[in-house]
Chain A
Amino acid sequence: MDVETGRRAPHDAAVTFDPRLNGLTWLALKGALLSLVTFGIYRFWYVTDIRRFFWSRTAVDGSPAEYTGTGKELFLGFLVALAILVPVYLGLFALSFAAPALAPFSVVISFVTLFLLGQYAIYRGRRYRAMRTLWRGIRLGQDGSGLAYAARAGAWWLLVFLTFGVAFPFMRASLERYRINHTLVGTSRMTSTARGRSVLGPWLLFYVVALGPLIWLGLALLAAADFSLPTDLLVPRPGGKPGETILNPAYAGSNIGLIANTLLFATAVCIPAALLLIPFYRARETRAFMRAARLGGVRLASSLRARDFYWPYIVYGLSLLGIFLALGFVTGVMVFAAQNAGVSVIHWIVILAYLVGLPLFAVLYVRLVQARLWAAVATSTVVVNPEELAAVLASSRGAGSGLQEGLADALDVGGALQIGL
């Protein structure tokens, strides 16, 4: 019995995240400024610092994780990735000249090649992070093949495309199962029972919000027009470009015109409104996938709430708004003063805004969004049957190549911190 710690159930162990973020501001500020002067090369060391910061504050059953990666490894990996990518780019570029018949498809071919390469890179990057993570001195690992993962992702995305997006949650669950089933803690393999069905509801909500009112209004429009839409409802805009149309003014007073106007207005409102559902879906998915993960007899319980994913974005958005207002005010004052003095300062304002804004946004983003999202996921998670963690044994595998994450950085996929497993 673990009475004095006040845990929910006697056999659960909490995942904790230290909410004191002292030092993070300085870390982000230093990272942003040094990345600026080093043409971005410092970002590898910055990412390493950020990961050490977050890993060391996240504890499972009282023992924090440990990140052992280095900036040098990331940088060398990036250089190796360049050596792979430059010929790929040149090859794609040359393809449209070597085979003129393919020229119309060159955009598609480039996109598919880079997408598959990106998925491969994501999987390899995850392997690097796993192999540089220690818990109680035991190294995590990941087997499986990046090529197999990229092939799966490619096939699934094709299916998502063909089903107008309905297959999306099933794709997410399938890829999650592949990732988790190939994740090792020492010699113990993790398993996942993630099912697309468990997040189908939140996913379909997108359709309800974005398309529901549109379909309903469309039906109303058809009914009002006795199921035969007038062919002159849309007319070319007078003096506009070809293809530009407006509602025929002749229908302005009628029921049809009213419904058609509402439809246009709803299109402008519903689709952006659906974007606001993204944090909700992400929270539901993270919770479902966390609950589906197992390590032998150990499993995770998650009580993640959607509002924990909204709050960071709201605070971040409001602070950005404040900053823009302040910057606008300062700019206005400076322009006014400069006009009176008769000098042009617009270049200096742009440079100043860039130098002040870039580090400021970097600090705000890592503190307000990344740290809070990370904390929300960690602190809402509980380890069930933690005593079985004692059965985890270290593996004799080596730490693996340090070059595996470079491709992900060169292709700009994945980030310093990946929420979820």
Chain B
Amino acid sequence: MTAQIIPSKTSAEVALAEAFGTARAKLPGNAEVAQLREASFESFSKAGLPHRRIESWHYTDLRALMREALPLAQPPGAEAIAALGKEMRAAGLPAQSLVLVDGVFIPELSAKLPEGVRVSSLAAALAEGRRDVVTALSAEWAGVKDPIVSLNAALMQDGVVIDIAPGTKLDAPIRLVYASVSATPVAHFSRSLVLVGTGASVQISETSFGSGGRKGQINNALVIVGGDECDIAHTLSLTDTEPGSLRLESFMVKLGAKAHFDSFALITGGGIVRRQIFLRFDGADTKANLRGVSLLRGREHADTTLFVEHCAPGCEGRENFRYILDDEAVGVFQGRIHVAPAAQKTDSKMLCKALLLTDKVAMNSKPELEIFADDVVCGHGATCGGLNEDQIFYLQTRGLTFAQAEALLLDAFGGELVDELPDESLVAAFRAEIAAWLAKRPQGARL
């Protein structure tokens, strides 16, 4: 028998409780939403910050890693927004950009989207008590069991709600562009929703604008609900987190029947990143493809944790994640695939590959299959190691220096997943980001 240990609250937990206490009256939403916030905070508060004794957080012990809780971001002022707008016009934002500043949706900086797409702020939808929005946030959603998602539900300040009408076909991606005007590091909590109608086809790409777009403590959630026969391609570029920052990204996806879902994320940059994906196959014969590349150096820490639930028959899931770890970086990959009894003929393959460039890095890789249906094909694999010496030698015999050979192989390792993206401009953009990361390696250090 081990005694139940109820640890006292950490100072970060105490500060979060205070922040919620002060902010709750001002946070957007009708009475039902207020209740949801209370319940969510209660659920967070009971669990506390996740720590290593919670299995899904074992390798990212927030209790230890999050020493303090930063103050909540104030809504950006009109002057700051105007200055940012000027900067954005000068730089030229891509078409169909929706801009969020410190977690708040700013319509005046955002593009008008074509017919079939309706955009509003989360705050407005919550104030109005929009049924579908509130439902998408409510407890039946798998992710709500996670303390960090609960905390997000309690404190969400704003975000954007995008409705894609059934049958809408968009050629160019809708861009969620994150920016910051806060002068000091703050915490923000934002949540966005994309509701994709039956048979609609859409690309969503999450990027950021400007330097310092992502400093402080960020708790972001993106919810996508895809109707039957929809086709969704999502990308996330998480490449500008500053050292000392904390990034908590929850991505919740629920798909109807015969849908097609594709998601890719590139993670580089400082601080601590935890990305959690909750993917639920709700309708039959749907295909989903999750991919990610994490490039880490220094003492960076990036965790990608998947919860994939097969609830319907005949679905195909592909999860493919790669890590390059340099210096003393820490990579975490956890993939839990759950196949419910009803999900016969599930076809699931998960693969995680890590390249370890020094002997001081750590890669924690944990696939987990929970299969309750008998007629399924499920596989997973994980590899972890250095660059292939035979490949390096082959390249050297052709005249490439050791450093050039290494760079070419690293670029290929990350680039391979990028090359599978459906849109060529995205392929080029992500490959350029990988190349930029590689260019910062001290060349020839190991010659």
A, B co-complexed = no
Q: Residues of B at under 8 Å CB distance from A?
A: none
